[in-house]
Structure 1
Amino acid sequence: MSVTTPRALSFDSAAAQYAAYRPGYPPALLDAVEELSGRPLHGARVADVGAGTGIATRLLHERGALVTAVEPGPGMAAELHSSLPSLPVVRGDGNRLPLATASADLITYAQSWHWTDPDRALPEALRVLRPGGALALWWNVSDESVPWIADQDARLRRHLGAGESVHGTGSRNLATLRGGDFVRRPVPWSRTVPLGTHLANLATHSAFLVRGGADGEPTRRFLDEERRHLAAVFPDGMVEERYVVELAVLVR
């Protein structure tokens, strides 16, 4: 296993909550992965790196892919294994993949590429990919063209610090990709969830987890205030979260 930052491993403390409250991905995302990689997912040998609790792993498996999950955190890996016991899970990370050379048709990073050292992770991905295989990176990014989401982001930055956001930094990560011809595509989507689910999702982000998570007094105070703000916007208690999945695909 490669060295992984304490912040990257902070999710272990909230693995069950992460599995319960984090958003998934729309079918259109996997359609785009198939189109840009030039092959169907059904029957493809896929390594899902930084798999977490298996949110993307499950969707890939349901498309017929033969998925191996790679995850550095013991808590996250255990949560993944408990929900997907038939799928192989190996401990490791993208900087030093515990996989054989030329063994994968597709390598995916769902919300996890930013935890790697790209100068190490990209050569590792190319080593593991078969000729013609593809590397797919994506991030769920909150759509800040929506006024309430932009307002919430401003409150989050005041609370966490100007450089912090839990709304996603996919565009920033895509802008720094180098070492290959990545094809990029935005995939918009939304989900509607109870207000409590929305707030619980916020608390599973590393910016909160490293500050004591949902049990920390500053976080509880912020979430209570946020509940009051959003109750005025969504009086029926159901929040429409709007996202743009920022996707980048590189074919070897």
Structure 2
Amino acid sequence: MDHGARLRLASSFGAAAAGYAEHRPDYSPAAVRWALAPAPGPRVLDLGAGTGKLTGTLAALGADVIAVEPDPAMLAELRRALPAVRAVAGSAEAIPLPDACVDAVLAGNALHWFDMAVAGPEIARVLAPGGTLADLWNVVDDRIGWVAGLQRVGGSAAIGPRDTFSGWRSATAGLHRPGSGLTARSGSAEQAEFPHGQRRTAGSLVATLATRAGVLVMPEQERAATLSRIHAFLVGRPETADGEFVLPLLTGVLRVRLRCP
């Protein structure tokens, strides 16, 4: 993806910040614990924190967390939801924190938006020696028939390869390869998945998918047609037609530890 396209997609969320805060899922606590282990201390930076979905899980687990988010509307939702958490404006490419001040940097559904040639050295700068960088994604479990059908109906704008169990490993494995700015100081990246889920209705799942970047940047008529097609699919399936159901998710984690100098 070229820089302009990535910037357009990455900057699309602010217009839907309230919907993002209401409808996006949190993260599996087991996945977050694995992401942090064996971090040498509790100081954690949630980078590209959005409306605080990962921040809230970190705070609930007892981490001393600081959230950094570039979009003013997303940051406002985070501060509203988590007023006790320190949340500041900033980006992965210009982190407003001193050197070696955190034990771990986590990013929830955000690392693919970073310019890692610039962000990699910034992340390495704020991490204490031996610290951990972990990237988390909530992905749908497309091994389940109706979920695979939903992906086909919604298309890649609503559920891309990185957003599915079958695709996320290959789609994210190269994020810490040479050129990321971390390679010289980092160990081998590790990947793991943890079961998760979100209670939804047909209407609220459509609202969730409406907050995807690929959907947000669609022309209005195309977006309406896409969401209408998804809703028709959901109300036509026995698993999702009536009342609440659990959307089967996994939280995938890509973790790398920075070696001590």
TM-score between the two structures when normalised by the length of structure 1: 0.87
Q: Which deviates more from structure 2 when the two are superposed, residues 120-129 or residues 165-174?
A: 165-174
Cα distance change of structure 1 residues 140 and 193 upon mapping to structure 2, 3 Å threshold: same
Residue matched to 2:191: 184
Where structure 1 has 5 or more consecutive residues not aligned to the other structure, the ranges are none
Q: CA deviation at 1:246?
A: 1.5
> What letter corresponds to residue 218 of structure 1 in structure 2?
E
Query: Could you tell me which residue of structure 1 aligns to residue 17 of structure 2?
Result: 15
Opposite residue 173 of structure 1, the aligned amino acid is: T
- Alignment partner, residue 209 of structure 1: 216
- Aligned-pair distance for 1:166? 8.1
C-alpha contact 2:48 2:68 (8 A) present in aligned 1? yes
What whole-Å deviation, never above 9, does each CA across 1:23-50 have from its counterpart, x for those lacking one?
Answer: 1112211221243x3457xxx1111000
Q: Does 2:65 correspond to 1:67?
A: yes
CA shift in 2, pair 1:87/1:203, >3 Å = same
For the 8 Å contact 2:92–2:119, the answer to whether it is kept is: yes
Shift of 1:244: 2.0
Note the 1:165-176 alignment, pairs <5 A. Answer: 167=163, 170-171=168-169, 172-176=171-175
Over aligned residue pairs, what C-alpha RMSD do you find?
Answer: 2.3
Secondary structure of the residue that 2:147 maps to in structure 1?
A: helix
Q: 2-side partners of 1:222 and 1:238: how far apart?
A: 22
1:51 to 49, 52, 62: 49
Offset at 1:52? Answer: 0.2
How many angstroms apart in 2 are the aligned matches of 1:240 and 1:250? Answer: 31
Could you tell me how far 1:132 is from its partner in structure 2? Answer: 2.1
Q: Distance in 2 between matches of 1:38 and 1:47?
A: 12
- Do 1:190 and 1:240's aligned partners in 2 also have CA atoms closer than 8 Å? yes
2:103 aligned counterpart, secondary structure: strand
Stretches of 4+ aligned residues off by more than 4 angstroms: 163-166
Contact 2:189 2:255 in 1 (8 A): yes
Q: Size of the alignment, in residue pairs?
A: 241
Q: CA deviation at 1:93?
A: 1.3
* SS at 1:137 equivalent: strand
**Aligned 1:222-241 pairs, distance under 5 A:** 222-233=226-237, 234-241=240-247
Amino acid at match of 2:254: A
The Cα of 1:211 is off from its aligned counterpart by 1.6
Q: 2:131 aligns with which of 133, 137, 154?
A: 133
Q: Structure 2: any 5+ residue segments left out of the alignment?
A: 178-182
- How far, CA to CA, are the matches of 1:236 and 1:151 in structure 2? 18
Q: Which residue is equivalent to 2:257?
A: 251
- Structure 2 distance, partners of 1:110, 1:92, is 16
Once the two structures are aligned, what percentage of the paired residues are identical?
32
Tell me the distance in 1 between the aligned counterparts of 2:100 and 2:176: 22
Alignment partner, residue 89 of structure 1? 87
1:42-65 CA-partner distances (Å, limit 9, x unpaired): xx1111000000011111111111
What is the TM-score normalised by the length of structure 2? 0.84
